[in-house]
């Protein structure tokens, strides 16, 4: 490794570990990097307006006699018409709970879903995003079993603590206990940190061996074809007495060190941090714009956009969007409206008041959704997440499916036009609705938006006269249009405009500013008149030339290219 890189890594590690441990890490990291140097194949990819991510489970679509991962690739190859070039495969490793996020073996593919060869085949056609579930691991993992067996190698891999201590400052994303008790090989009770559940045991990054092991894992993923890595629940990775145990300086420094090490072999690999927290905390993971995550999940977008559509006003959305600033031209938002999780509510703290959040809760519950809660510092509980399919949520308290479909298509148009990299959840792409039966059968709220689909049945339904057939072609059309305008470049400049309380208006530019587009979204059922700056405009959808005065019909959008 170059001296400059090692010096950078050293300065970061010195802010986390004692001097002797830093010295040891600096001896081992170059050896680790050299071990992967001949294994990792570097393929350069300059991001552009053609980049769109599909978020999906590895077994999202199933077909008899075929590995689900192959069926997934079949869907991509045969149905998406080249409109999606990147795939976020949610944890496809062996797991024990939480639909993949309680990983038993980081280095294996779920045997029922496929093999590393299956992943490799997909990686040859699509840019793959892997999950780095590195805050916690399954209690059924070999690592935790070795810890309970008092194996000296794993004695400090997990965090033991006193259950009688005061943990009131600790930020809690669940109402479950922070510590769980386990019995070791000697019959002794061990109280161990479990931020999310008993089956998800937090790793101990105070042990530099854990950090080195995770570096090995990330390099392994790069060797297996990962071009993007989602750092799951990464804000919780460092624990400190008398603190919130979230977003601590050690966490940021370790992420920066990980990126610096990975950049030695895969400089184009993208880190995306997943921190479902208030906006100002979320964007802290951009670092200075060059040294930490290249992208952060735009967690404010899903709840705030849903509220704006249900309430019929873009004022709150526009005020928030106009405040957005990026620390450099090398970072951007990872935009989405739905995912395997629910719609988080913490990101709209300080943006929506309790009554406004209540509008979202009522709409979700009216359509069969649920609300999950977290434990607050005072011991009380507050809404943490809405568990509801996004289309179902947008049907409103009136349970109006026709209105929900119109809002859903408009919501995806906003997301695809929002500055950054767009990501569409599989169920959003194909117009799915709440899987209430699946949720009730499993007893888990999040299963409401995690239904597994039969491939042949799905393909047939996409062609039938139903909700899927309304959403599917509309989104494919949007995807096709945005591929042909450089103004949709993920890292391109942008501005938000306050043209009307009923509208969201985005002005986007290509990085060289050789192209400019105006995106108008009507959040109400009434036609809106809009006056744009003087110029010549062309509708990107139908290629018609337009004047500066525009009419946007109810729950519709206009994508307009301005002649520069």
- pLDDT > 70: percent of the chain: 100
Instruction: Confirm whether 283 is domain-assigned.
Output: no
Range of the domain at 501: 494-562
> What's the rounded mean pLDDT across residues 479-496?
97
Quick count: other Cβ atoms within 10 Å of Cβ 164? 8
DSSP codes joined into one string, 332-346: EEEE-S--SS-EESG
Give the Cα separation of 396 and 401 in Å (integer): 9
User: How much is the pLDDT for 267?
Assistant: 93
φ, ψ (nearest 5 deg) of residue 459: -60, -40
Domain boundary among 178, 202, 226: 202
> What's the rounded mean pLDDT across residues 474-478?
97
Beta bridge partners of 129: 88, 228
- pLDDT > 90: percent of the chain: 93
Q: Taking 90 as the threshold, does the pLDDT of residue 42 lie above it? A: no
User: How much is the pLDDT for 342?
Assistant: 92
Please state whether 65 falls in left (phi above 0), alpha (psi between -120 and 50) or beta.
left
What is the total count of domains within the chain?
A: 2
Q: How confident is the model at residue 443 (pLDDT cuts 50, 70, 90)?
A: very high
Instruction: Confirm whether 172 is domain-assigned.
Output: yes
Q: Taking 80 as the threshold, does the pLDDT of residue 377 lie above it? A: no
pTM above 0.95, yes or no: yes
Q: How confident is the model at residue 542 (pLDDT cuts 50, 70, 90)?
A: confident
Domain boundary among 159, 179, 202: 202
25 CB-near residues (< 8 Å, 6+ apart)? 13, 17, 208, 211, 212
Active-site residue, 376 included: no
φ, ψ (nearest 5 deg) of residue 363: -65, -45
Q: Taking 80 as the threshold, does the pLDDT of residue 446 lie above it? A: yes
Q: Taking 90 as the threshold, does the pLDDT of residue 374 lie above it? A: no
Instruction: Confirm whether 508 is domain-assigned.
Output: yes
DSSP codes joined into one string, 59-91: TSEEBTTB-HHHHHHHHHHHHSTT---EEEE--
pLDDT tens digits for 200-215?
999 999 999 999 999 9
User: How much is the pLDDT for 241?
Assistant: 95
Q: Which of 51, 232, 341, 435 is catalytic?
A: 232
- Please answer whether residues 54 and 79 qualify as being in contact, where contact means their C-beta atoms are separated by less than 8 angstroms: no
1 DSSP 8-state letter:
-
* Burial category of 250 from C-beta neighbours within 10 Å (exposed 0-12, middle 13-18, buried 19 and up): middle
529-543 as b/e: b if 16+ CB within 10 A: ebebeeeebbebeee
Instruction: Confirm whether 177 is domain-assigned.
Output: yes
CATH number of residue 515's parent domain: 2.60.40.1180
Q: Taking 80 as the threshold, does the pLDDT of residue 499 lie above it? A: yes
Instruction: Confirm whether 478 is domain-assigned.
Output: no
pLDDT tens digits for 93-150?
999 999 999 999 999 999 999 999 999 999 999 999 999 999 999 999 999 999 999 9
Instruction: Confirm whether 79 is domain-assigned.
Output: no
- As a whole number, the mean pLDDT across the chain is 96
User: How much is the pLDDT for 272?
Assistant: 98
């Amino acid at each position: 490794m170059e001296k400059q890189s090692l010096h950078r890594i050293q300065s970061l590690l010195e802010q986390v570990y004692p001097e002797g441990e830093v010295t040891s890490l600096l001896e081992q990291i170059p050896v680790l990097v050299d071990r992967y140097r001949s294994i990792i194949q570097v393929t350069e990819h300059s991001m552009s307006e053609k980049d769109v991510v599909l978020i999906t489970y590895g077994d999202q679509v199933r077909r008899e006699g075929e590995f689900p991962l192959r069926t997934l690739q079949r869907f991509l190859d045969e149905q998406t018409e080249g409109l999606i070039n990147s795939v976020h495969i949610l944890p496809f490793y062996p797991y024990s709970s939480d639909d993949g996020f309680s990983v038993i073996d980081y280095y294996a593919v779920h045997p029922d879903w496929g093999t590393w060869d299956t992943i490799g085949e997909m990686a040859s056609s699509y840019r793959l995003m892997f999950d780095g579930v590195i805050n916690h691991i399954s209690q059924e993992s070999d690592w935790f079993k070795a810890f309970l067996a008092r194996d000296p190698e794993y004695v400090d891999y997990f965090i033991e603590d006193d259950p009688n201590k005061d943990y009131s400052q600790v930020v809690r994303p669940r109402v479950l206990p922070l510590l769980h008790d386990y019995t070791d090989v000697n019959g002794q009770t061990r109280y161990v940190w479990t931020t999310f559940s008993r089956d998800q045991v937090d790793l101990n990054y105070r042990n530099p061996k854990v950090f080195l092991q995770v570096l090995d894992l990330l390099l392994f993923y790069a060797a297996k074809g990962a071009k993007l890595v989602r750092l799951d629940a990464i804000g919780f990775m460092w624990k400190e007495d008398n603190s919130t145990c979230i977003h601590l300086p050690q966490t940021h420094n370790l992420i920066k060190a990980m990126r610096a090490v990975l950049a030695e072999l895969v400089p184009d690999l993208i880190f995306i941090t997943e921190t479902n927290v208030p906006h100002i905390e979320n964007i802290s993971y951009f670092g200075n714009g060059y040294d930490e995550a290249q992208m952060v999940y735009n967690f404010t977008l899903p709840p705030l956009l849903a509220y704006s559509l249900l309430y019929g006003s873009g004022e709150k959305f526009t005020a928030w969007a106009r405040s957005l600033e990026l620390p450099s031209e090398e970072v951007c938002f990872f935009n989405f409206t739905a995912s395997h999780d629910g719609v988080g509510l913490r990101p709209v703290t300080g943006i929506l008041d309790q009554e406004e959040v209540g509008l979202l809760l009522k709409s979700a519950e009216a359509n069969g959704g649920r609300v999950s809660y977290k434990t607050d510092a005072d011991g009380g509980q507050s809404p943490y997440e809405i568990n509801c399919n996004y289309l179902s949520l947008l049907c409103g308290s009136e349970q109006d499916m026709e209105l929900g479909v119109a809002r859903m298509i408009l919501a995806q148009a906003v997301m695809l036009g929002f500055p950054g990299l767009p990501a569409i959840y599989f169920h959003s792409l194909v117009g799915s609705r709440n899987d209430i039966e699946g949720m009730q059968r499993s007893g888990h709220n999040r299963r409401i938006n995690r239904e597994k689909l039969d491939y042949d049945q799905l393909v047939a339904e996409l062609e039938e006269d139903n909700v899927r057939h309304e959403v599917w072609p509309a989104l494919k059309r949007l995807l096709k249009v945005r591929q042909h305008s450089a103004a949709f470049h993920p890292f391109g400049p942008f501005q938000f405009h306050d043209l009307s309380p009923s509208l969201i208006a985005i002005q986007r530019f290509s990085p060289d500013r050789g192209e400019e587009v105006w995106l108008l979204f009507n959040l109400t059922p009434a036609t809106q008149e809009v006056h744009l700056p003087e110029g010549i405009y062309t509708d990107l959808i139908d290629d018609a030339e337009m004047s500066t005065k525009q009419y946007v019909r109810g729950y519709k959008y206009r994508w307009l290219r301005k002649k520069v």
